[in-house]
Amino acid sequence: MDRNTIIGFGLLAILFFGYFYYTRQGQLAYEKEQQHVADSLNRLKPKVDTATAHQINTDSLQKAQQEAAFSGIVQDTSGKEQFFQVENDVFIITFSNKGGQPYKVELKKFKAYNGKPLFIDDGAMNNISYTINTGANKTASTSQLLFARLPETKAANGDQIITYVLKAADGKTITHQYIVKPDNYMIDFNIGVKDPGQWFSDQVLRMNWVARATQKEKDLDWEIQQSHVSFVENNDFDFEHLSPGKKDDKKFVMPVNWIALNQQFFANALVAKDNFTSGEISWDTPKDTAEHLVGIATANMQLKVPQVQDATIPMQLYYGPVDYKILKSYNNQMYNMVALGSGIYAFAKYINRGFILPVYNFFSNRIASAGLVIALMTILIRLLISPLTYQSYLSGAKMKLLKPEIEQLKAKYKDDKQTFAMEQMKLYRTAGANPMGGCLPALFQVPIFFALYSFFNSNISLRGQSFLWAHDLSTYDSILNFSFNIPLYGSHVSLFTIFAVVTSLLISIYGMANMQDQGNPMMKYMPFVFPVILLGVFNRMPAALTWYYTVSNVITLLIQFVIQQYIIDHDKLMAKLEANKKKPRKQSKWQEKIQAMQDQNDRLKQMQKKIEANRKKK
């Protein structure tokens, strides 16, 4: 391992930790920029604790019913909230006549981290509503009104159609129609309005959307870090991080196609087919709550109501996994919710989409074990970069063979660093050695590593996949849990992380035996620092990532041994270097400039020597 290889790994380490710093600090950047409005919505809204929420909802419902009855709106004759359950291949959805909206959504193909049913929409804390006119200078929220449910109908293609109706005394209606498709996480939600001018005084529907996300993964803090509020504004996808214990908001001034509370692996999204005209969304992640909340998103969005007698506002609701293939099928940029690379590391998403994801899917469609799929994918990646790896070790071997001559130059020009540097470059050039050759493989692996980091953190197909002792490759593996937290390490022991660190240390130890510059203390100990730091950084990473890193390190050790012992013939290489020195070489313009600088430096030295000699004579 020559000095330039060490520099390459040093650059890799800097970029690696820079990435984690960016992902950690990026969550706070928006908060600082929006400090002057961070709590504006909170100041305008009364605080309601969970213990009294049900009683307040009941009181609000009774008040809204009284006002509606007074203004002539005909509600569900039962006078109480009733539920209706619909099921397709992927979820069980429960509707409520209170507001004529979804009340609870259970995903059938997934479980929460503790093995319990996984709910996306869970109860009264989630809400879809808007304000309507109920009389002269009187308004009411649809979430507090009882809609009448019409009989369910089924289409020939298997679609289930659920319809809720709110009727005024004069026969004018508001209709909520939901179309649940057989094998689809997206629900069509059509709001039908007869005589919109009666219900909306300015032809604007002001929709309030509240989504609450609860813990679904083993590591709540990590899940929060991987969660976002996502949206498409003016046809451009963007997102904002959820910050633990913080409250932020985002104002929209351009058309918005959809908004979503985007957890690590699941999402709750509201889509406006004709776009929201404007609005705002706020999100909050309370700390230390009994509900283990990931985040609460509250949006107030405006929709233009068509100025026709019978208006229809087409919308959609998404309750499902953050799966690239599924979201890609909707053709509305929702696939960007899969965090395959963003910010200054946006290049990673193109590597993931164009190479890593297709390769993973190819192997996973043929092999049941996700651990074996990752191992095969690792081998393929290492094979693809093997030419660069060989060139790196070849460069290192050349540098090692030239070491005695470099030492002679050091002794000759020990007081003249500039001349030494020029003579050193001249030696490299004539011998045909590239001092930067050892950096290339390490630098080339940087984008691949960042792509894989994003891939393993966001690939839902790894969720629940077991391998060896790891029960779930999408989160850390643990062979021992502590009752306390060790700073910079955690409260558990990840065995895959230990293997990754040990194999990294073995690479460093093997490289020390071939290091060109063992006299430099920094170069001597730097290879050991990076693996030790990985112990703390990787301990909470997905087991899939640390397993990949372990396999990659083992392959690196094998490649190092085979290349050094069986492929590179050091005697032949030395003979080639000597032959290169004897070949006439045409200097490039840059080399001519370097030579001119060296000649000028020599002339200056001769002049200085003459001046010193003349002084001594006097």
Distance of CA 473 to the CA centre of its chain: 16
Instruction: Name the residue with higher pLDDT: 241 or 501.
Output: 501
Contact present, 121 and 104 (Cβ < 8 Å): yes
- Please, which pLDDT band fits residue 570 given cuts at 50, 70 and 90? low
CA distance 392 to 379: 18
Contact present, 285 and 294 (Cβ < 8 Å): yes
Largest distance between two CA atoms of the chain: 121
CA distance 358 to 364: 10
What average pLDDT does the segment 105-125 reach? Answer: 89
Side-chain half-sphere exposure of 235, counting CA atoms within 13 A = 0
Q: What percent of the chain clears pLDDT 90, i.e. is strictly above it?
A: 43
Instruction: Name the residue with higher pLDDT: 259 or 514.
Output: 259
Residues in the chain: 618
Q: Is the pLDDT of residue 472 over 60?
A: yes
Lowest model confidence (mean pLDDT) among 290-294, 307-311, 434-438: 434-438
The 10s digit of each residue's pLDDT in 150-182 is 999 999 999 999 999 998 888 889 999 999 999
The confidence score (pLDDT) of residue 123 equals 76
The 10s digit of each residue's pLDDT in 31-90 is 444 444 444 444 444 443 444 444 445 455 445 444 444 345 666 666 789 999 999 999
Order of strands across the sheet that contains 127-135: 138-141, 127-135, 204-214, 293-304, 278-284, 247-252
Say which DSSP state 2 is in: -
Q: Is the pLDDT of residue 276 over 90?
A: yes
Please give the sequence-ordered ranges of beta strands (E in DSSP) within 225-360, or none if there are none.
228-233, 236-241, 247-252, 256-262, 266-276, 278-284, 293-304, 310-321
CA distance 497 to 493: 8
Contact present, 267 and 258 (Cβ < 8 Å): no
Q: Is the pLDDT of residue 335 over 90?
A: yes
Question: Which residues, at least 6 apart from 260, have a Cβ–Cβ distance to it below 8 Å?
Answer: 229, 230, 231, 267, 268, 269, 270, 318, 334, 337
Most confident of 56-60, 449-453, 506-510, 594-598: 449-453
The confidence score (pLDDT) of residue 464 equals 92
Q: Are strands 278-284 and 293-304 parallel, antiparallel or unpaired?
A: antiparallel
CA distance 412 to 416: 9
CA distance 166 to 100: 9
CA distance 392 to 382: 14
Instruction: Dump the DSSP string for 390-409.
Output: HHHHHHHHHHHHTHHHHHHH
Mean of the per-residue pLDDT values for the chain?
81
What average pLDDT does the segment 16-25 reach? Answer: 54
Taken in order 217, 222, 224, 225, the sign of the CA dihedral is negative
Lowest model confidence (mean pLDDT) among 239-248, 357-366, 513-522, 577-586: 513-522
Q: Is the pLDDT of residue 488 over 90?
A: no
CA distance 311 to 351: 45
CA distance 287 to 285: 6
The 10s digit of each residue's pLDDT in 572-585 is 767 776 676 666 66
The confidence score (pLDDT) of residue 427 equals 74
CA distance 377 to 361: 10
Bridge partner list, 250:
281
Say which DSSP state 569 is in: -
Dihedrals phi, psi of 557, to nearest 5 degrees: -60, -45
